[in-house]
Amino acid sequence: MTLFEKSGDAWVQLAYLAQTNPINYEKAGTSIALSPNGQRAAMYAPNSYGPTLQTGALYLFWNDGGGWGQRQKITLGLGEEETLVKFGYSPHFTEDGNRLVFSASSLSGATTGEGAVFVYDFDSLTNQFIRTQKISPPTSATTSFGYVSNISEDGSTLVVTRPKEVEVDVEQGAVYTYLRKADGQFELQHKIFAPRRWANQVFGEQLSLSRNGSALAVSARAYDAENDYAGIVFTYIRNSNGTWKYVGELTPPSPALAGSTQFGLKQQLDSSGTRLLVAARNGMNGSIKTGSAYLYTYSDQKWTLTDTLYSHDGIADDVFGDGLGMSGDGKTIVVGAAEHDDAGMASTGAAYIFTEKISADATSIAGDPRELVPTKATKLELHLPFDLDISDIGPFANAVGVGNLVTLSSVKKVGVAAGTFGASSYVTYPTVGIAQRFSVAFWFYADSTQTSGARLIEAASFRVRLNSTPTQLVFESKRASGTIVPTWVSDRNSIQPGRWHHIAIVYGGTLASVPTMYLNSVPLLNYNTGPAPSG
């Protein structure tokens, strides 16, 4: 497990965490957790050994002043291994990192026990976490209690799912909610069913809580009785009397073919409970099954879709959305793609970081240009907010002439620094300055095969591709419909405030000279001579 820390505008590696005495096929990191204050981390290893049997373990890490390292390994005790496995699954910390909850599943064929949730509290005297409560299912009927567990950041509310709960002789699923008493123990308060129920719904496959536990989102695998794995998310708020009120349901905006979108397999509420991020690992980007993530905002007693996120390369079956995280304020988003290929290596995985940018007249999300991958990326994408109309650039829209040199000396007012482009140059990219409200315009001089000379290209959602002849640029514009259209013309219709826009620079062929792209005056990519990188 690798920890990253934001330093200024950059994400830098803080620590690489691994168990002290690993064993073969331990699969540590199958499920992980980081406390909201960033001070403690947990790593679940399903194939780790307890006292005698391979029943799972949870490794705990924190910085004790001498750096990050493993500080504890939690396992089942003697006598517990005969009934429980997968000990340590679905870990979650409270805000201060001093309380930890996680699950264990029943052992197939066991005559006692059918899953449990464990509560551990940090003891400052021993500098270790100690077990303070084991929560068993209120009734015994199925083997899925504790499939997912979660605790609110303030530590007041604990929620446990049981997706195989049987109600009226039908396996539908249920969610149990607990409140912490004055003595620190959790007590069962309510049992929640989906407002619409059908067989094999798997209600409770995933869930998330707001900081104080007053907002709850619960995922179900089956959208309806006919749609096997489209996915659906049910949302609830807790009334002042402690009861739960159903708010509404969210369904896939762009369902995959054959009903396997897997919408809601991963989802997270922000601390306020007013932003909800839902992943669909098989979501559609146009006609391509790349995976997607959807950001919803709660206002006026309803949820509204405010943004749709995709991986910038748009490769099929990357399962973008296989993992996700969102900061407490809802302004930073990380989405994982477990099957992402990089530098010729298959399924190395990647994480994509997105941050919110506030403009003068709109709120939009912009993705971080850095893609966290194990090796050097061969593709660079910048995700930037665009909220100005081309008319804001003023007279430069009319300054283009065949055979003329174009100078951008006055375009600084919209965030683009000066630069000169001529017929004899390949292309020079301007320095992009980040401002609260800006637009980006690219000017270039076309080669002799183009009849209309220099063009002003508005920065919509397009990608720039260099052909094997470096004097020719191909701008491909991604329209609102999702289709990729080769174009030399501004595509103004695809620019929408509050939507995701991106610029990708992809190099192909053998290039003798390649330009440098700058963001905040820091070079992000500069390949010199030699064959083009793969990918």
Predicted local distance difference test score (pLDDT) of residue 519: 24
In a domain, 236, yes or no: no
pLDDT band at 335, cuts 50/70/90?
A: very high
- Over range 447-468, report the average pLDDT: 31
> What are the helix (H) ranges across 135-212?
none
Query: Structure tokens of 479?
Result: 């329209």
498 and 423 assigned to the same domain:
yes
Considering only CA atoms, which of 346, 354, 353 is closest in space to residue 317? 346
Looking at residue 516, the DSSP 8-state letter turns out to be -
Tell me whether residue 526 is exposed, middle or buried, using C-beta atoms within 10 angstroms of its C-beta: 0 to 12, 13 to 18, 19 or more. Answer: exposed
438 and 356 assigned to the same domain:
no
341 near 374, Cβ under 8 Å?
no
- 3-state SS track over 346-407: CCCCEEEEEEEEECCCCEEEEEEEEEECCCCCCCEEEECCCCCCHHHHHHHHHCCCCCCCEE
- 3-state SS track over 450-464: CCCCCEEEECCCEEE
414 near 441, Cβ under 8 Å?
yes
- Between 461 and 6, the higher pLDDT residue: 6
Please identify, among 326, 347, 377, the residue that sits at the C-terminal boundary of a domain: 377
Lowest mean pLDDT among 41-55, 92-106, 124-138, 520-534: 520-534
Is the pLDDT score of 2 beyond 60?
yes
SS3 (DSSP) at 270: coil
Predicted local distance difference test score (pLDDT) of residue 457: 32
- pLDDT single digits (tens) 270-299: 999 999 999 998 888 777 888 899 999 999
- Over range 4-28, report the average pLDDT: 90
517 and 394 assigned to the same domain:
yes
Look-up: residue for tokens 């909800």?
A: 276
Q: Count CA atoms closer than 13 A to 248's CA, side-chain side.
A: 12
How many other C-beta atoms lie within 10 A of the C-beta of residue 266? 22
As a whole number of angstroms, the distance between CA 230 and CA 245 comes to 24
- pLDDT single digits (tens) 57-107: 999 999 988 899 999 999 999 888 878 889 999 999 999 999 999 999 876
- Over range 478-500, report the average pLDDT: 33
Predicted local distance difference test score (pLDDT) of residue 258: 57
CA Rg value for the chain: 26
Does the predicted TM-score (pTM) go above 0.85?
A: no
- Over range 147-172, report the average pLDDT: 90
Is the pLDDT score of 15 beyond 90?
yes
Distance (Å) of CA 400 to CA 51, 55, 261, 491: 76, 70, 47, 17
401 and 519 assigned to the same domain:
yes
DSSP string for residues in 207-245: EEE-TTS-EEEEEES-SSSS-SS--EEEEEEE-TTS-EE
As a whole number of angstroms, the distance between CA 495 and CA 173 comes to 43
Residue 434, domain extent: 390-525
In a domain, 14, yes or no: no
- pLDDT single digits (tens) 193-240: 998 877 778 899 999 999 999 999 999 987 665 656 788 999 999 999
Is the pLDDT score of 264 beyond 90?
yes
336 and 364 assigned to the same domain:
yes
302 and 399 assigned to the same domain:
no
- Over range 437-448, report the average pLDDT: 29
In a domain, 417, yes or no: yes
Total count of domains within the chain: 2
- pLDDT single digits (tens) 386-413: 222 222 222 222 222 222 222 322 222 2
356 and 436 assigned to the same domain:
no
- Between 101 and 516, the higher pLDDT residue: 101
Lowest mean pLDDT among 17-26, 40-49, 279-288: 279-288
Considering only CA atoms, which of 358, 314, 356, 360 is closest in space to residue 337? 314
Is the pLDDT score of 495 beyond 60?
no
414 and 515 assigned to the same domain:
yes
As a whole number of angstroms, the distance between CA 442 and CA 408 comes to 9
As a whole number of angstroms, the distance between CA 517 and CA 535 comes to 18
Predicted local distance difference test score (pLDDT) of residue 8: 81
Predicted local distance difference test score (pLDDT) of residue 54: 92
In a domain, 141, yes or no: no
454 near 446, Cβ under 8 Å?
yes
pLDDT > 70 fraction of the chain, expressed in percent and rounded = 62
Q: For strands 517-519 and 431-432, give the pairing.
A: parallel
Please identify, among 356, 377, 398, the residue that sits at the C-terminal boundary of a domain: 377
In a domain, 292, yes or no: yes
Looking at residue 64, the DSSP 8-state letter turns out to be -
Please identify, among 325, 343, 377, the residue that sits at the C-terminal boundary of a domain: 377
pLDDT > 90 fraction of the chain, expressed in percent and rounded = 41
- Between 370 and 24, the higher pLDDT residue: 24
Q: Which residues of 404-424 are buried (b: 16+ CB within 10 A; e: fewer)?
A: eebebeebeebbbeebebeee
* Helices and strands (H and E) in the chain: how many: 0, 42
482 and 516 assigned to the same domain:
yes
Predicted local distance difference test score (pLDDT) of residue 201: 84
As a whole number of angstroms, the distance between CA 198 and CA 168 comes to 11
In a domain, 289, yes or no: yes
In a domain, 185, yes or no: no
- Over range 296-308, report the average pLDDT: 92
Which residues, in sequence order, are CB contacts of 57 under 8 Å at separation 6+? 44, 45, 48, 49, 50, 73, 74, 75, 87, 88
Predicted local distance difference test score (pLDDT) of residue 318: 87
Is the pLDDT score of 119 beyond 80?
yes
- pLDDT single digits (tens) 344-391: 788 888 888 888 865 433 344 444 333 332 222 222 222 222 222 222
430 and 520 assigned to the same domain:
yes
In a domain, 266, yes or no: yes
As a whole number of angstroms, the distance between CA 401 and CA 51 comes to 79
How many other C-beta atoms lie within 10 A of the C-beta of residue 78? 10
373 and 459 assigned to the same domain:
no
DSSP string for residues in 125-140: TTTEEEEEEEE--SS-
314 and 416 assigned to the same domain:
no
